Copies of this chain bind each other. A is one copy, B any other.
Amino acid sequence: MSLYLRCLGELESAGRETVSSKELAGKFSISSALVRRDLGLFGAFGKAGVGYEVKSLKDALMSKLGLKRAWKVAIVGAGRLGLALARHKGLTQSKFKIVAIFDKAPERTIAKRDSGFEVLHVADLPRTVKERGVELGIIAVPGANAQEAADTIVRAGIRGILNFAPTHIDVPHGVFVHHVDFTIYLENLAYYVNEASHQKGHSVDRGGRD
């Protein structure tokens, strides 16, 4: 759905008012029937010969994805990764606002050398989450500390966790985790590069659309 949303944003910027399921299908290399089914799940139905209205479809998706408003996010772990994420333009220019960064040893982080990061002690997490209305958590601690960080986040009432630690974390039913596993992405790339080198002249271009 996020990918549809991105695509619709691009079409809107380009001044397009309508788009057919066939055109959307082409962009994602899937069938137009699947596009119609996907969008139908969101109550969006195109008109025969016209397609979908870009603006209202985008609106419907954003509403369904809960993106009509900002989401407050906390990061646990103020090492290089946590601080890099806090400053990453992909996040700072999005609906997702980093409103707090926690660490077990805030006095030892490199944050102070640079501008603007107030790193809080992880003991302050429950109170801060409540006070600032944090809804999503990012785990950016070493693997050995990831479960502990997850437990703290879950106890504070957060229901969505993005896990950058290289380890599986257990969470109770009703809490959602997305594990960002860098090796999976590299494995996928390795697979394509490997295939292409064995099938000269028959490589699939996945450029940017992966």
Contact = CB atoms under 8 A, between A and B. Distances in A.
Interface of A: 1-3, 5-6, 64-67, 71, 73, 79-81, 83-85, 87-91, 93-96, 110, 135-136, 142-143, 159-163, 166, 168-197, 203, 205-208, 210
A3 to B, nearest CB: 7
Nearest to A197: B159
A184 B9 CA distance: 14
B81 A88 contact: yes
A177 to B, nearest CB: 5
Contact of A190 (B160, B188, B191): B160
Q: What DSSP secondary structure best describes chain A's contact surface?
A: mixed
Contacts of A66: 190-191, 193-195
B208 A189 contact: no
Given A173-B205, A176-B192, A193-B136, A187 B2 contact: yes
Contact of A208 (B84, B85, B170, B186): B170
A186 B204 CA distance: 29
A186 B94 contact: yes
Given A84-B80, A177-B206, A207-B173, A182 B194 contact: no
B65 A96 contact: no
A178 B180 CA distance: 13
